[in-house]
Copies of this chain bind each other. A is one copy, B any other.
Amino acid sequence: MADSWLPSLRTATAQEGFELATKLARVGVKLTQPSAEVRDRVRAAYEQDAAQLIASSQVIAIHFQTVAAANNYWRD
């Protein structure tokens, strides 16, 4: 992976925070399976599978908790 892919958990808006959470979920997969070729093959299958789509949405939800807390819920 690129040397620096997560400079900070701060984002300007909640929506950008959600996008960062989505990125973190993908990086988690990447660190577990470093081969882009294998990931592409696996993704082609799971993106059509309800259970995996919902599971992916769940990982995003967990990361969004972290990012939202890091940004004090964008209340400031």
- The reply to whether B73 and A47 form a contact with Cβ atoms under 8 Å apart is no
- How near does chain B come to A39, taking the closest CB pair, in angstroms? 8
A63 is contacted by which of B43, B56, B61, B73 (Cβ under 8 Å)?
B61
Chain A contact residue count (CB 8 A cutoff): 55
| Set of chain B residues within 8 Å of A62, measured between Cβ atoms | 58, 61-62, 65
Cβ B4 vs Cβ A61 within 8 A: no
Chain B residues within 8 Å of A56, by CB: 28-29, 32, 54
Give 6 pairs: A residue, B residue, CB < 8 Å, sorted on A.
A6-B18, A7-B13, A7-B15, A32-B53, A38-B48, A68-B69
The 3 residue pairs across chains A and B that have the minimum distance between CB atoms: A28-B57, A46-B50, A70-B73
